[in-house]
Structures are given as structure tokens and as C-alpha cells.
Amino acid sequence: MKAAVIHERGAAPVIAEFPEPAPRDGAVLIDVDTAGLGGWDVLGAYRLGVQYPCVIRGEGVGRAPDGRRVYFGERSVLPYGAWAERTLVPVEEVWDVPDDVDDRTAIAMGIAATGALVPLEQAKIQPGEQVLVLGATGTLGQIALQLARYLGAGRVVAAARSADALARLKARGIADEIVVLGGDDDAAKLQAITDEGFDVVLDLVCGQPMLDALKATRWGARIMTIGTGAGRKVNLDIADLLFRTLSCIGTGQRPPADRRAIWERLLRIAREQDIRIDYSDFALDDAGAAWAAQVAGPHAKITARVRG
């Protein structure tokens, strides 16, 4: 079968023939229609324990042997994955897609949207509170801004390094205000955009941006860190954390039944709230370009049409 294959640690994927997965007990053989790509796919492809060659794992939508249209997350049985004509997925990770949900929405409301909803609900946003999203221009950030408003935020502010991508969020009404990061005065810019300080910070990057955001929070603020793209180590002045709560949250390490319930709820929210995000669509044959776009930071959800 045709697949996007990684042949060694540090190598980009290439399109090649790959052995077909064989049926096995406890797993579902899926004909893949649409594959998704995210930041964890890039990081996870080179982690310890991966055997090469392997297919890009990813998440996707396809058809089960009984004809059901199904979603599956980044848990294909190794060495298989979504970026191939067929994959093999543990049965508990295969979830029916409603007829009125398109492939791209089913994928976007999986890992990315779960990563936004779980920490925002844990923050217990109160009606009218001010919410800041750090690293807001990616898929997770775009969804988080809209979910924060759905959960009661009175004002949502997007902060990231790309001025163009931030401007698009404000123009579409997804963010009330924007802050372009990457200068020497980021803390001052974040403080200037809020009157009494942010009540909730959803931090997708950690590092210096998180430290700068802390200075723009009010007493009682909740800072929810779920990503480390700007650095895992911080030189924290404990005074900046006084009367505030900092939580580091892993959003994907939940039982399959819990993740499925969150995903199904997010599908309903996406329909009811008309949640919109940017997509960057590729063909399977362009997997190398899709991979490079993800590494560069696409400000969009990358998907690929595998068949049809």
C-alpha cells in the first residue's frame, strides 16, 4: 500500500510502498479517507521506542470493514498510522462519526480541541472574565479562543509571534484583542492590553511568554500550561505567582471512553457554536510538504486526502 514513511530518526517522511496491516483481535482495520497532522506527530515520530521504518501516525477518518465511517486518534498499532491507505487501530480508539460531521471537523475536534477544552474547563471561567491564550494562532489556540467565549469569558485576547495570523483572528472576531510577541517588551504589552489583569491564561508555549503573561494577571488568576514550544525551563520569581494558581495539564492521557465522550461533546459544540478554524489541505503524495509545513508552524490544521 502507499504510505508516508519515516525510515530513520530525524528523517522527513517519503511516499513509499509499505506492507499492508493484517487483521488482528482487538483492533480494527481501517481504509483511510482523510489524515490529520499535528505537532505531536512530529515530536512523537522520533521518540524513544519507535521502530523504523514506520508510517506517520496522525489521526484520521476512514471506513471500518463493516462500512462504518469512523474517527481514530494518534494510536494506530505500530508501525502503522493515518498517513497510509490502511491502518490498524485498537478497537476502543475507533469512534463512529455522525453523518452531518465532515472529515476535517471530526479530526480538528479530536486531539486539538480536547487540548483546549480540558484545561479551560478546569480553569472554571466565570462569566465576564478576561482570558489570554498564548500561542493562539495554531489549531488548538484558534479553538481555545472560541471555547473560552462559549464557557463564559467576557473578553478573549490572542497572543503569538505572527502578526499576520493574529490580525486574521481579530478580523474574523475570534479574538477581541491581539498581542504580537517576540520583542523585549512583551510583559509590558500584555499588561497594557488588560485593565485589571487576566483572570485565566491558557499557555500553549511555556518559557518566557508564560513568565511575561504572569505579570499581566490579577490575584486569583489561573494559568493552565499544556505546551512547551517556547521552552520547558523557566526562571520563576515566586512573587509573580503569589495568590495565583499555575497548573500543568496533560490532556490526552485519559481512558478511551473519557476521550470519546469529550470528542462527541466537542462535535456538538462545534455545530452549535459554529466553531471555525483554518485548514491547510494536502494530498497524501505531498506528505513531505505537509510535514515541513507542520514543522514551520502552519497556523492551520493540516489534513491530507488519502483516497476519494
CA 288 to chain centre: 20
Q: What's residue 307's pLDDT?
A: 85
Beta carbons within 8 Å of 184's beta carbon, 6+ residues apart: none
- How far apart, in whole angstroms, are the C-alpha atoms of residue 103 and residue 92? 19
Q: What's residue 308's pLDDT?
A: 65
Yes or no: say if 15 and 57 are a contact pair by the CB < 8 Å rule.
no
Query: What length does the chain have?
Result: 308
Pick from 60, 112, 52, 106: nearest CA to 84: 60
Number of neighbours of residue 91 by Cβ within 10 angstroms: 11
Phi, psi torsion values for 265, nearest 5 degrees: -65, -40
Pick from 245, 236, 187: nearest CA to 216: 187
Question: Which alpha helices (H) appear in the chain, and where do they start and end?
Answer: 39-44, 103-108, 111-122, 139-150, 163-171, 186-192, 207-214, 256-273, 287-296
**Residue 48 host element (H or E):** none
Yes or no: say if 60 and 34 are a contact pair by the CB < 8 Å rule.
yes
Single-letter amino acid code for the residue at 177: E
225: which 3 cell numbers? 500550561
**Residue 154 host element (H or E):** none
7: which 3 cell numbers? 525510515
Q: What's residue 46's pLDDT?
A: 58
Number of neighbours of residue 189 by Cβ within 10 angstroms: 15
Reduce the DSSP state of residue 160 to 3 states and report it: strand
What is the value of pTM for the model shown?
A: 0.94
Estimate the crossing angle of helix 139-150 against helix 111-122, to 10 degrees.
40
Question: pLDDT tens digits, the chain, 308 residues: what are they?
Answer: 999 999 988 889 999 999 999 999 999 999 999 999 998 788 766 565 678 999 999 999 999 999 999 999 989 999 999 999 999 999 999 999 999 999 999 999 999 999 999 999 999 999 999 999 999 999 999 999 999 999 999 999 999 999 999 999 999 999 999 999 998 899 999 999 998 999 999 999 999 999 999 999 999 999 999 988 888 898 988 988 999 999 988 877 789 999 999 999 999 999 999 999 999 999 999 999 999 999 998 899 999 999 86
Yes or no: say if 118 and 251 are a contact pair by the CB < 8 Å rule.
yes
The vertex-49 CA angle with 48 and 50, nearest 5°, equals 95
Q: What's residue 45's pLDDT?
A: 61
